[in-house]
Structure 1
Amino acid sequence: MSPPDSFEEVDWAERTGAGRRPSRRAAGVVASALALGAAFAYDYVAVPDDERLVPEMAGAGLPGWDVTGIDWLFLASVLAVWWYLLYPLAADRRLARYYWRRVRRSRRAVLGLAGVCVFYAVGIAGPFALDLLREFTGVTAAQGPRGVAPLQPPLGFAVSTSVTNGICVGEVVDGMCHGSLAHPLGTTEGLRDVLVVTVEGAQSAMQVATVVAVLSAPIGIAVGVTAAFAGGRVDALLMRYVDLQLVVPPFFVYLFLQVFVGRGFVLLVVVFGLLDWGSLARLVRSDALSKAELGYVLAAEDAGSGSLPTIRRHLLPNVSNTVVTGVSLLMPTVILVEVTLAFLQLSSPTETSWGNLISGANVLGAGTVTIDGFDPTVWWTEAVPALALVCTVVAFGALGDALRDVLDPRTEADR
């Protein structure tokens, strides 16, 4: 049989599905974005400032929800994480089982994943459980005192009644005030229940870290993959910009801009989300450079596939492991930055953060803040949020380090 005079022309638009109806994920992304946008517009236009978007239903025992700016950004980030990370795993059970088999081989990865899941469970349940916690501990939703005793010790510990100004919720034995279930983690001098404010601090840290990760990841991925795939002057130009960006840390940009727009979590996540992707871009570029020279990428190019389809179908899926690892290591850094800013009183004093609690700050009213410092007699007021911070950062760090090994396909051959 004689060879053909010419090769068959391949319609890549037809083979790649161009012109077909949108996929289920694309339709879900559009529908979710429209629903979230409509809810945001309704809250911004129709709901008065002194009312909640989700009103309180006292009869059903459900607290209301006053959705703030950082809450909207977090909800948008959750949708992005669901449709672009969790949904593909849920749709491809075989891939999910493969990754789970690899993760559970590492005890460090399992412990880190468990710690991160607890952190997110506490943070996500916070808006719905905090009102119930306040009712249980006697603190109103406006953070005002309602018969809350100062400096009550945690359950299982005792302190002299002179420290608590003679007020003790628990039992008093030999002049020592013992902790009680009413305040299982104790209270602060500012009449705040430590359990409530620690949960609020977890919610703040979770929102900031998630939004920054979702904002910075697409930029870092786009820059890293484009630099690796294009090469030449494009690669040099993008990497020189990354070098220039790394010279000016987002920390100082935030300090500069807060003079003009005020302090707050929204400014924090926007600045770090748009400027803290340089390290991720370098990681992605390094991995993409090695993948761009592999046979399947070169074969796709030789077969006539365009640059964008090649990147989307062959390069991006194979650098996703590097992205997940890089983001998991970025998030604890963002949490530490948020806590550090609050510790130094460089964030809004009205927004609860672990940093405010660790510094011993108390909001007295009209924006007045006092810093009491660490008092070993009432150690729980700073130790509990500090312990929560350490456990969270260690969990993220352990998970990120373990994922670096678990998700590397080269380690499969060594087993």
Structure 2
Amino acid sequence: MSNDTGTRTGEAPLESIDWDGLDGTGRTIPWRLVAFVVGLAGLVLLYRYTSSHHVGIIYWWEPTKLTWLFRVSLLVLVCFAVPPVLRNAAKNRRYWRRFRTNRVAVISLAYLVVFVLLALVGPALMGRPRPHIHAARQPPLLFSAKEGMVTSNCIGHTVGGYCQGSLTYPLGTSALGQDMVALVVSGMHVSLQVAVITAVFMIPLATAVGLVAGYSGGAIDTVLMRYVDVQQSVPAFVVYLILVFLTGPSLFAFVVVFGLLNWGNVARLVRSEVIQRREEQYIEAARSAGVSRLTILRKHLLPNVSNTVLIGTTQKIPQLVLLETALTFIEIGDIGRWMPSFGETISVGLNAHSYTEPMQVWWIWTVPVVVLVATVVALSIVGDALRDAFDPRGDV
């Protein structure tokens, strides 16, 4: 049975047709585009100032090209991704009711919110992890390490020949005396950069290709899907290795390569969704009313595949975060940056044979491993919970 918006019983409500705007007279000011242009102009002015003075404003060091790409990516998400999500309050409340039934997912979402906040503001507050040789290899709070064998200058109290952890360094320090809290925040910042920038590359490309291929069909669909096949047959990992050989390791190259070449699976998900949607009654009604193909894609199909794009992207991001960590761990990632990643910190902690055994300084590699695993697991749990929440059968 169908209702007046063309949905069937058990399906999620679809985007309704704006009949008053079909003749093109219902144009409104593109506030999101205006906000993006204003924000981009502000970033350009900020870039010119920091470049001429060789100093950062938000972070206390001169921004790199990756930093600027990250800022532009954040601006894109704020202007174009967040408003559509917040626009339909009734739909969002329905999704939230389904999502919050999964308590583990709610806890994971809360963790990710804290993760994002720390990754954004932490570097500005704490600065770059700096070495302090006199504080090298301090144990975490509530733990101890053999003085003289592990640590040579105990910051906390010494009890029975063991250096006790202190509040000065609650998570301990690295072999160079870097505060592990600062190193963890630094790794969070790098992981957030990977997630945000690759998502901003992948989402528009996957959505555009999936929409056009699924709605057009025929030769256009064949050509686009064959391109996706060719793209996936040459993994982004191989392209990145070639760039590493030619220009050296670079996190900038990593996010660009994997952002531009790793969206094929998401595009296929969007295409499948569009193929199912294009024969719905509301699409047929729009075509019968003479609505242009571009308008149908933009106003009626795009809003109804946004959930699919979000789910596909949340499934990709954990893989890319883990891959960046693995590449840095084996020293073909970007090592020696102002903000070291989890992979570099873990590698330094495990390759501790020059001064002591890795198990004696376990906190150097265990702390970032725990945070990394928690982040990846939380992303996966939230992605699965979103898929269940967006499932139209949830209301049956």
Q: Same fold (TM over 0.5)?
A: yes
Match of 1:154 in 2: 140
Identify the match of residue 33 of structure 2 among 10, 26, 34.
26
Question: Could you say if the C-alpha distance between residues 93 and 14 of structure 1 is closer, same or farther in structure 2, counting changes exceeding 3 Å?
Answer: closer
After superposition, what is the alpha-carbon deviation per residue over 1:117-146, rounded to whole angstroms, capped at 9, x for unaligned? 122111111222223xxxxxxxxx4x5534
Aligned: 1:107 with 2:100? no
1:54 aligns with 2:83: no
User: What is the rounded CA distance, in whole Å, between the counterparts of 1:24 and 1:383 in structure 2?
Assistant: 46
- CA distance 1:229–1:41, shift in 2 (3 Å): farther
**Alpha-carbon shift at residue 371 of structure 1 (Å):** 8.4
Cα distance in 1 for partners of 2:146, 2:241 equals: 42
Cα distance per residue 1:262-286 (max 9 Å; x no partner): 3221111110111010111111111
Aligned to 1:277: 263
Q: CA deviation at 1:54?
A: 1.5
Superimposed CA distance per residue, residues 127-186 of structure 1 (whole angstroms, 9 cap, x where no aligned partner): 22223xxxxxxxxx4x55345422111000011113334321111111111100111111
Residues 283 and 20 from structure 1, CA distance in 2 versus in 1: closer, same or farther, beyond 3 angstroms?
A: closer
1:236 aligns with 2:222: yes
Matched, 1:358 2:350: no
Q: 1:119 to 1:326 in 2, by over 3 A?
A: same
1:21 and 1:374 map into 2 onto residues whose CA distance is: 65
* Counterpart secondary structure, 2:92: helix
Aligned length: 376
Matched, 1:120 2:103: no
Deviation of 1:257 after TM superposition, in Å, equals 1.0
Tell me, yes or no, if the aligned pair for 2:99 and 2:105 is still in contact at 8 Å.
yes
Q: TM-score, length-normalised on structure 2? A: 0.88
Q: Which residue of 2 aligns with 1:60?
A: none
Q: Aligned runs of 1:302-341 on 2, under 5 Å?
A: 302-341=288-327
**Distance in 2 of aligned mates of 1:408 and 1:165:** 54
- Distance in 2 (CA, whole Å) between partners of 1:327 and 1:354 is 22
Query: How far 1:16 sits from its partner (Å)?
Result: 5.5
Q: 5+ unaligned residues in a row in structure 2: which ranges?
A: 1-18
Equivalent residue in structure 2 for 1:404, among 362, 379, 387: 387
Alignment partners' CA distance in 1, 2:95 and 2:40: 29
The one-character-per-residue Cα deviations of 1:60-109 (angstroms, maximum 9, x if unpaired) are xxx73532222211111111211222223444433433332232222233
When the two structures are superposed, what TM-score results if normalisation uses the length of structure 1?
0.84
Correspondence list, 1:19-98, <5 A:
20-44=27-51, 46-47=52-53, 51-54=54-57, 64-98=60-94
**Distance across 1 between alignment mates of 2:354 and 2:183:** 17
Match of 2:8 in 1: none
Deviation of 1:19 (Å): 7.9
Measured in 1, the distance between the counterparts of 2:63 and 2:254 equals 18
Letter in 1 for 2:172: G
Once the two structures are TM-superposed, the CA of residue 323 in structure 1 deviates from its matched residue by: 0.7
Aligned AA (1:387): V
C-alpha contact 2:132 2:176 (8 A) present in aligned 1: no
Are 1:220 and 2:206 counterparts? yes
The answer to which of 257-266 and 13-22 deviates more is 13-22
Contact 2:149 2:356 (C-alpha < 8 Å) held by counterparts:
no
Cα distance in structure 1, aligned partners of 2:104 and 2:130: 42
* Structure-2 separation of matches of 1:336 and 1:193: 23
Residues 26-77 of structure 1: per-residue CA shift (max 9 Å, x gap): 3212222222233234434x23xxx31318xxxxxxx735322222111111
Q: Can you give the 5+ residue segments of structure 1 that lack an aligned partner in the other structure?
A: 1-11, 56-62, 132-140, 364-368
TM-superposition CA deviations, 1:330-354 (whole Å, max 9, x none): 1111101110110010122212010
